[in-house]
Amino acid sequence: MAGALRQLTPRSPQSAPLDAFRRSLQRLDWAPGITLLLFLVPISVGLLGTWLPAFGYLPAVGREALSLEPWRQLFAYPGVSSAIRVSLLSGLLGTGVAAVSVVLFVATCHHRPIFRVIKTLLSPLLAIPHAALAIGLAFLLAPSGLGMRLLSPWATGFERPPDLALMQDPWGLALALGLAIKEAPFLLLMTLGALSQSQAEARLNAARSLGYGPFIAWLKVVLPAIYPKLRLPLYAVLAYSLSVVDMAIILGPTVPPSLAVLVFRLFSDPDLSLRLVAAAGATLQLGIVLGALLTLYALERLIALTARSWLSGGQRSAVERSAPAVAGAAVSLTTLLGYASILLLILWSFAWRWSFPNLLPETWSLRSWSNHLPDAGAAALTTLTIGAASATSAVALALACLEHEARANVRMTTAALWLLYLPLLVPQIAFLFGFQVFLSYFALDGMLLSVIWAHLLFCLPYAFLALSEPFRRLDPRFARIGACLGASPTRVFWRVKLPLLLRPMLIALAVCFAVSVAQYLPTLFAGAGRSMTLTTEAVALSAGANRRTLAVFAVLQAALPVVVFTASLAIPALLYRNRRAMRSGMSA
């Protein structure tokens, strides 16, 4: 009997340690540890390697005594206070506009037709890298940009671009707008995800049957329920917006720039003693982000406390007319600006002469593409390699951790979860210098592997965000019946769980890939400048090079993640075209 082969003889007691080891291997006990190690090492070593110089310790330049001198120099450095102001204003405004408009939009328009339209339109914007969007937006906002051309000369009388600071303005408003456009889709998607897990529809119906208007009903019964799930994305957006570098280089003011850009410049100044000042600046940036997060948290508590009486106070309607209009307009406008930016990138990449105030190029040409296909192609290949490697490893690690949870029957603690999201909350500039010193100490900087590692750091949280819910929602009886049919956990994983999770897994891959494509600082620091991706090239070119060339790089940079996203949707649809239950996502 074949069945007899599967019967195991009782094991001898001597093999117990080996047995325990095998069982631990089988349970994937290594997965959470390895994963934590992979991102805790860069962050902790990186932070330490930044804090020490910030307090005067950098033996490489002969400084070994702890002191506050770097801080003194930092605050005496020209433009630091304006730089902090620019960072705060653009970061808070960008996050605020994105968050408030998204929440108001969902609250007021969730039952209107415009909701579906915007939802469909916003998702592709999520995949567009920050730099590409910023470049397109700069083409739109500049005094010679499309915006002004649309109004000139008939409305403005301008025959030449006006001398107005419409972008790179000294307050960072253009940067704030860019951040709002880029972060709104992310927050919307996160809100929708949270909604789908909290019986929003039922709650709303209950409230509305008690006589509450749709807007106030949403605020009173849905928002409190989904906010805990929105907290992390919101914090991540805030931390990112306060410390962004690539977008700030493109859209932010130049003299002085935002704090993160200023610190980045100080790190690369040939005057070596400035390295200590830069480290202090990076630490200050960390402090600003932590301070902002704590303030937001305090604000949350305050609102939660004071809103209690309001929640049960019985008001049944509030600005039910004007709120939808304002929120709908705000979100539609950011969507429109996002798409116009991308369109402009494409136009410029095919334009030859295109002077103000013409709405379309006077002459068209394929030369920008044909001239730059070799170097842009090489950069695209590097981008693809790094993106594919980091996304695949991130998704593999996330799956291993989740599978470990399933096999060992444990759940990740809240603390571990926040730890996992650390890379999204700690500003990149605050630890990448220290990480680079660490890499360089082991002669690892400049290696492709190091760049992939640095990208992996930022992919992992997204891999978990995208996978944990579908994985845990998977009907556990599928795995159980697989085991009862004689399939080992490994076979159940590969033959049952993975195929069932194909769609979310591919989406996770695409999200991680998009995250990797967008990375600027990690590529520069870990790659020692040797890894030239579409993003580093585009940002370097944005310093003023030919718009047509810049457009070619930005179009490619934007196209890559979009193509991968499309593939991630098309593959399951194709593979499971004859599997009805697989079509609408999960059968769980």
Partner 1 sequence: MTQRHSLRLADVCLSLSQRPLFAPLDVSIAAGEIVTVMGESGSGKSSLLNFICGTLPKDMAAAGKVLLDEQDISHLTPEQRQVGILFQDDLLFPHLSVAENLAFGLPRSIRGQQRWEQVSAALNRAGLTGLGRRDPATLSGGQRARAALMRTLLSQPRCLLLDEPFSKLDTALRERIRRFVFEHARQAALPTLLVSHDPEDAAAAGGQVVHLHPTLPQDSETI
Partner 2 sequence: MQRLSVVGLAMATLVAFGSSAGSADQPWDETLAAAKGQTVYWNAWGGDERINAYIDWVAEELEDRYGVRVVHVKLSDTAEAVSRVLAEKASGRDSDGSVDLIWINGENFATMKENGLLYGPFAEALPNFALVDVDGKPTTKIDFTVPTDGLESPWGMAKINFIYDSARTERTPGSIAGFLDWAAANEGRFSYPAPPDFIGSTFLKQVLIEVAEDADILQSPVTDDAQFDAVTAPLWNYLDRLHPSLWRDGESFPASGPALRQLLDDGEVDIAISFHPSEASSLIASGQLPDSARIFVLDNGTIGNTHFVAIPFNASAKAGAQVLANFLLSPEAQARKQNPEHWGDDTVLAMGKLSAEQRSLFEALPKGAATLSPDELGPTLLEPHPSWMTRIETAWLERYGN
Residues that bind partner 2 (CB under 8 A): 58-62, 78-79, 81-82, 142-144, 160-161, 163, 165, 168-170, 253-256, 265, 267-273, 275, 352-353, 355-356, 363, 365, 367, 371-372, 374-375, 436-437, 440-441, 443, 445-446, 528-530, 532, 536-537, 539-541, 543-549
242 within 8 A of 87, measured Cβ to Cβ: yes
- In whole angstroms, the minimum distance from the beta carbon of 3 to partner 1 comes to 5
Backbone dihedral region for residue 531 (phi beyond 0: left; psi -120 to 50: alpha; all else: beta) = beta
Could you say which residues in the range 394-413 bind partner 1, by CB under 8 A? 409
CA distance 218 to 222: 5
Nearer to partner 1, 405 or 537 (CB): 405
What, of partner 1, partner 2, none, does residue 377 touch, CB below 5 to 8 Å by kind?
none
Could you say which residues in the range 5-24 bind partner 1, by CB under 8 A? 5-8, 10
Per DSSP, the residues of 219-256 read: IIIIHHHHHHHHHHHHHHHHHHHHH--HHHHHHS-SSS
3 sits near partner 1 (criterion: CB under 8 A): yes
Q: Which two tokens stand for residue 131?
A: 């730099």
Cβ neighbours for 234, distance < 8 A, ≥ 6 positions apart: 95, 99, 187, 296
548 within 8 A of 345, measured Cβ to Cβ: no
| Binding-site member from 296, 319, 502, 567 for partner 1 (CB under 8 A) | 502
Which string of x and - marks every residue 467-496 that binds partner 1 (by CB under 8 A)?
A: --------x-xx-xxxxxxxxxx-----xx
Could you say which residues in the range 350-379 bind partner 1, by CB under 8 A? none
Which string of x and - marks every residue 286-305 that binds partner 1 (by CB under 8 A)?
A: --------------------
Dihedral of alpha carbons 105, 111, 117, 120, sign = positive
User: 10 Å Cβ neighbour count for 125?
Assistant: 23
Comparing CA positions, the residue from 273, 345, 339 lying closest to residue 534 is 345
- In whole angstroms, the minimum distance from the beta carbon of 202 to partner 1 comes to 20
CA distance 149 to 157: 11
Nearer to partner 1, 396 or 586 (CB): 586
Which string of x and - marks every residue 522-561 that binds partner 1 (by CB under 8 A)?
A: ----------------------------------------
Nearer to partner 2, 7 or 363 (CB): 363
CA distance to 426, 459, 468, 507, 509, per residue, from 465 (Å): 17, 10, 6, 11, 12
What, of partner 1, partner 2, none, does residue 129 touch, CB below 5 to 8 Å by kind?
none
188 sits near partner 1 (criterion: CB under 8 A): no
Per DSSP, the chain holds a count of helices (H) and strands (E) of 29, 0
CA distance 204 to 187: 21
What, of partner 2, partner 1, none, does residue 6 touch, CB below 5 to 8 Å by kind?
partner 1
What, of partner 2, partner 1, none, does residue 360 touch, CB below 5 to 8 Å by kind?
none
341 within 8 A of 177, measured Cβ to Cβ: no
CA distance 366 to 375: 16
- In whole angstroms, the minimum distance from the beta carbon of 248 to partner 2 comes to 12
The single-letter code of the amino acid at 171 is W
What, of partner 2, partner 1, none, does residue 160 touch, CB below 5 to 8 Å by kind?
partner 2
- In whole angstroms, the minimum distance from the beta carbon of 514 to partner 2 comes to 23
Nearer to partner 1, 363 or 409 (CB): 409
Nearer to partner 1, 321 or 480 (CB): 480
CA distance to 11, 45, 376, 557, 560, per residue, from 382 (Å): 51, 27, 10, 12, 12
Nearer to partner 2, 402 or 437 (CB): 437
What, of partner 2, partner 1, none, does residue 475 touch, CB below 5 to 8 Å by kind?
partner 1
Q: Can you tell me whether residue 58 is helix, strand or coil?
A: strand
The residues with which 58 forms a beta bridge, in sequence order, are 63
- In whole angstroms, the minimum distance from the beta carbon of 36 to partner 1 comes to 23
- In whole angstroms, the minimum distance from the beta carbon of 530 to partner 2 comes to 6
What, of partner 2, partner 1, none, does residue 310 touch, CB below 5 to 8 Å by kind?
none
CA distance 487 to 484: 7
Provide φ and ψ at 364, rounded to 5°.
-110, 160
- In whole angstroms, the minimum distance from the beta carbon of 340 to partner 1 comes to 41
Q: Using CB under 8 A, which of the segments 286-294, 340-348, 528-536, 579-587 binds partner 1?
A: 579-587
What, of partner 1, partner 2, none, does residue 267 touch, CB below 5 to 8 Å by kind?
partner 2
Nearer to partner 1, 111 or 491 (CB): 491
User: 10 Å Cβ neighbour count for 279?
Assistant: 29
What's the chain's length in residues?
588
What, of partner 2, partner 1, none, does residue 296 touch, CB below 5 to 8 Å by kind?
none
CA distance 575 to 445: 41
Nearer to partner 2, 283 or 531 (CB): 531
Angle, CA of 388, 445 and 448, to the nearest 5°: 20
- In whole angstroms, the minimum distance from the beta carbon of 513 to partner 2 comes to 23
| Binding-site member from 22, 72, 111, 579 for partner 1 (CB under 8 A) | 579
Chain positions contacting partner 1, by CB under 8 A: 1-3, 5-8, 10, 409, 475, 477-478, 480-489, 495-496, 499-500, 502, 576, 578-582, 587
